[in-house]
Structure 1
Amino acid sequence: MRNFITPFLFFLLSFIFSCSEDVNEAIEDAVIIDPNPDQNELYFPPVTSEEWETITITNLGWNTAAEQTLYNFLEEKDTKAFIILKNGKIVVEKYFNGGSVSDNNPWYSAGKTLTAFTVGLAQQEGLLDINESSATYLGTQWANIATDQEQAITVRNHLTMTTGLDYTNILLQNCINFDCLTYLNEPGSFWYYHNAAYTLLTDIVAEAVNTDYNSYFDTKLKSKIGMNGTWVNIGYTNIYYSTARSMARFGLLNLNKGTWNNTQILKDQNYFTQMITTSQNLNQSYGYLWWLNGKSNFRAPAFENEFSGELIPAAPDDLIAGLGKNDQKLYIVPSKNLVIIRMGDDTGQALLGPSSFDNDLWIKINALIN
């Protein structure tokens, strides 16, 4: 056990000279508080409560003069919830336009990151292999294509948007019925943001783990980190709804490479690394359903062509992100120990994932944190 006298005297003297609220709290717990804590050590909120430690913009030495400009921008862009975590602690938590801390908001395609993580959990348990044919889990004739074409599509193709299934009929891009799933390209030869191919991952996981997808997700991921929320079927799509704090919890888990506090959840670090790095040679800015910044080019939803330059030029190069319809944003920046969440209504971009809002927002964020 740590010697009690030295820390006690240290904090007692600090109390006499400063009388600060922070030191008062430290005195109460003087036996276990380190007087020189590592400011870069990650904090994790309790799994079973809503408690969450905070740190101020002033204490971090950030630019308080840029704070209100950021909030005005967020409010103008129909934001409901906005959170910044630094080293796991809440620096900014703001709700606008009628939003509140208890509201469950849709993640839309930002929720694809949840699925990518869950696939990794099933694989680490030996229940699934992403290099296996999708037919191993979906059975034969899951798509209206020849048997050899069906066998050639792997789970990894679903994770990387490279199945080769026909995406050209915009009315059928979400449809997972047999007749909607037809052949266009050889698997792995073309990248296109095809929601139907992604949605099938839910069935793949469910068959692999021999239970329904939602139950597996809740048991293996959601409950482990104290998230709330639920998957909701809307048409052919499966949309996750949760509070902004729950999205922040998932971001913090990935900032720490799949480990929550001292509990390893995604132990397979090879999979984690593959998930957040370029997964194919067709879209440098895409991992396993995660968007990646800092690359020399990118492809975007609803476009067949490649664009030159970084996905979000104003953002740090090591940023990884979950990006969803109506500009739902889950940003993780490992170099700065940042997790940033934006949930809300359409900002005016009306795009499925990346948009110019990303860059505009990061210009405002940079003014605050630099």
Structure 2
Amino acid sequence: MISSVGIVLHDFSLGGTERIAARLGRAWASIGVAVTFYCGVDDGPMRKLIGPQARVVPLDPPIPRGKGSMQRLAAAAEKAIARERVDAVFVPGNYHWPVAHRLSRLPIDQRPVIAAQISAALRKQQRGPVKEFFYDLRMRRLLRDADGLVALSDVAADQARAIVGEGPVVRTIATPALDDDVAPPIDAGGMMIVAAGRLVPEKGFGTLIEAFSLLPDPTLQLTIVGAGPDEERLRGLARSLGIADRVDLPGYQPDIRPWLDRGRLFVLSSDYEGYPAVLIEALAAGRPVIATDCTPATDALLGSRTFGEVVPVGDAAEMAGAMYEMLASPPPVPQPLAEAVTPHRLGEVALAYLDFFEALRLQRRG
């Protein structure tokens, strides 16, 4: 079986990729796997998620994010992994794909199993056909010599196979968004609308604030949990719409569950997403969801709209209408929503990754 895993991260900054990598590394280390994080900079809010059992190796000299930094990170990781040797390397997310390309150049006797994750959407309407063509070319170049690719949904897996073709094995593994001891859901209380994510334009929080301003009930509250460069613009938008006193931006929080427990519903307002863990967290808390059509994950998680509604990207009026209807209806029984996302618990997902790594190693030997 796989006994050692390396994880290459630029840093431990806020982000879904970093969060998933930290959680998986912690889970693997807790069951006796030797886990090593190779990082350009040993800093960031996700650092504390990895726990004491995983090892962290800051690459020397430090490699902060910047122009050309990913190529330098990949080269430094290649040298470190060739020197230290691990059974498998997990490349967490699209941003880190150059690491997979660089490691695939190692001699076969030094090369670990290379498994890269597909964390962001492979198809975005905003790209257009020309940009999609060059995106596919880049993906094929970076990943064609990896041993395996991990997709977070069957749709993404099918897209990856169509782009990369023969070469890496593609497997769908659930997003490890939930701890094994996640608290059971409680009944919805109050009339607070909750959203969460990094405060950047592509998360669509401007559209959400506009939609919220269209709701007629002046007692409603909107809480957007997260931090980022778009904060002042969003606060200014709320002021201009006359709802600043009802829009709360409490900043980054390591756990959004307290807000979900106080909320009535959750809104995912993004322009595009990969497989948003926050959507899983909301359902685990028993909260119905309104989500933009920003990822195939919305259909996978919301099914026949039993657990929420899907609205067009960037359409404040449609979003407001969906929120109005959901608020006017009795809250759903929370337990079925939570039960629908149990496959996303960390322990089960961590073992699925290790099984995949082992299968890839046996395939290479064969």
Give the TM-score, by structure 1 length: 0.27
Whose helix fraction is larger, Structure 1's or Structure 2's?
2
Larger relative contact order, structure 1 or 2 (CA cutoff 8 Å, min sep 6): 1
Give the TM-score, by structure 2 length: 0.27
